[in-house]
Structure 1
Amino acid sequence: MTEHFTLVGHGGRLGRVDLNAAGGYAKPAGTLRSRVAYAAAHVVPVAWGDNTPGQPAQIDWDATLGFRRAVYSWGLGVADAMDTAQRNMGLDAAAVRELISRSAEVAREEGGSVVVGVNTDHIDEHSISLDAVIDAYKEQLHFTEEQGAGPVLMASRHLARIATSATDYLRVYGAVLQSATSPVVLHWLGTAFDPELAGYFGGADWETASQTLVRIIEENPGKVSGVKMSLLNAESEVAVRERLPEGVRMYTGDDFNYVGLIGGADVPAATQPKAGPAATRTHSDALLGAFAAITPVASAAIQALDAGDPDEYLRILGPTEELSRQVFAAPTFYYKTGVAFLAWLNGHQPAFQMVGGLHSARSIPHLSRIVELANAANALEDPSLAAARWSDYLRLNGVDA
């Protein structure tokens, strides 16, 4: 058995780190109680398929859906067909529809909770009218509802291009929400994840934009079940969280600061993001790409909160935040590469490949640091397998491991 990982630094400098044991985490006996948590899942390509840039995605459905079954077995829900699944970065419209349909079916089989992305990205035209944006959103929304999945209204590039004011966002979201047959989650995706979404919700700064977001929710009572914030800014999330109407959840999408945001008032004050003096919302729930990379660890941490042990929550989940910051390092929109890389190391896919050839988006030193931090955070499900696969990958790339 390999007893160490070979590490590769910038400039080709080699090092070694001892192999840690697996975390030994136990799957929950039932539903996680103290937090609602979704792992935003990725897709696995057919290893021999033509998944080169610009080609339609050829998906390995056994591995892709098997990963979702694994997430459910740890008590988490699945957030599917979202940016982690390479929406607008390799996953074409036909593949999106099939993914939603298949994922919803697996959720029913496993008794799990699934929410899926609803967007306007099946429209090929670069610029369309506001009415066309509404129609495009409704088309995907109604398809999602027909499949039995919960909708997440993703930020639309089409809307970002055509909207000239907050009024345009209020109009579009109002029309779409009124057509929904059940409450939806709104997704606020920051420019670190997608630079084309600058000025979304009609504001160049989060304070202004958040006023529009909250107004959308207030003007459509009963239509919004939650908000997923992905700005990588804990202050903005806490500020919006405190303004949400009763019954609307805050799902953190902050892959840099999730430990304190999820822990909230249950964890020591030093780890909590700053809240207002009259804060009534004590924590965020979770809808995170990071949780797809560390599912067993995330489950074990929330189980600790369920057991009333916030210190154990911090001990388990705290070390993963540095790993997540590496996975989501700038340019942040390439974080999907790290998620797929860890899935491969952990045995959830047969090859380190991605649709659109995106597995080439990160360097060997970047991936090496992921290996080092995943090992330190006990995020490797089978450390021996991970070490063997990493060693093979290095040799394939001309590094003597």
Structure 2
Amino acid sequence: MKMPYIIEKKRDGKDLSREEIEFLVRGIADGTIPDYQISAWAMAVYFRGMNPRETRDLALAMAYSGEVIELSAVEGVKVDKHSTGGVGDKTTLVVIPLVAATGVPVAKMSGRGLGHTGGTIDKFESITGFKVEMAYPAFLQQVSQIKAAVVSQSGNLVPADKRLYAIRDVTATIDSIPLIASSVMSKKIASGAEGIVLDVKVGSGAFMKSYEKASQLAKTMIDIGRGAGRKVAALLSNMDQPLGNAVGNALEVKEAIDTLQGQGPPDLEELSLELAAQMIVLGEKAASINDARDLARAALKSGLGLVSWKQMVETQGGELNYSLPSYGLPEAAIKERILADKRAYIENLDALKIGQAAMLLGAGRERLGDIIDYAVGIELLKKPGDLVEAGDTLAIIHANDPGRLEMARKILLDAYHFSDEAVEKKPLIIETIS
């Protein structure tokens, strides 16, 4: 089998066989196919696409290109969730303990953030002492005992995807739905969960800016998962504005704990409960989505979700002080209020700009290897639909560097758009696909 023929075939819009895709993935993983040929093939896919069978074959070949996590030793239907990335998206921190509190085991492998979207592992690492790496037997034991564990992705997981993604990142071939879907689902399949809930973000702060593309991505990922024998459901959720009020690692952890105590922002609670309900259904602890919603809400209202959170954090070495307003999380040295200069309704709050402002403060990475500041970020006190008076606080910037604060302030102010007339709030959950 020759790589030039595979490139030519896809260039001409023809379908690749399973054997050709498996040959390609082996060559990506073991280094026998050079970058320039992989780049040419990726560009051919970008323009010509892949049919559903090709996309499934690519995802499965990448999933089995390295280590595959085996969770059969854990009783029950193991579930996982994946978000396509957004600003202020800390649902994982709320959802895992809620789902675990209902008896559904959640074995979560997460990544670090890059760009304006935050990473789940970065948020957990803002907790003093929290261990995001653990030996495989300890991971299984923790999930078996307390139904919840969060660890960073193993370096041996999906090596073919790691190399392909790095090449796509520098060859303008990121924005291809078959390549995005197969990348995401290869990691989920290799992580071993039997049920997968996908939160596909739509809007300015999301990777998918339009409903049409987000819906297509969700359906493609569902098709891959089901082709691999997994149970899959997806939500499309609005990311035109940040989720919740906090953007930045420690600030988001604090907001997640507030939410588990019943004191979080309504949008974060709404989306977290819906994601948890979908996971509970896939975990076979409820016969219907309505029953699952009741279970998730009961776990929140009773405090069992908070108990589950505390167990997970303590088991993984995290140190929090729940008697302090900050819970003992890192705090920034500078807190600057951004004030409204007139009476108006907030029409729009650009999630992308908020994410960029937080990244400038040091909350995110421009490139892999950048050091992040866990304490910095933005607190949003006013959001779209709210009426503000002159002098009201729109947001609080948490910073440790005056120069970074100055740059972030300008972007933050540009993110707010005002109207003299009342503004109708957009629905948070756009669609459920199952």
Tell me if both proteins adopt one fold, taking TM over 0.5 as the criterion: no
TM-score (norm 2): 0.29
TM-score (norm 1): 0.31
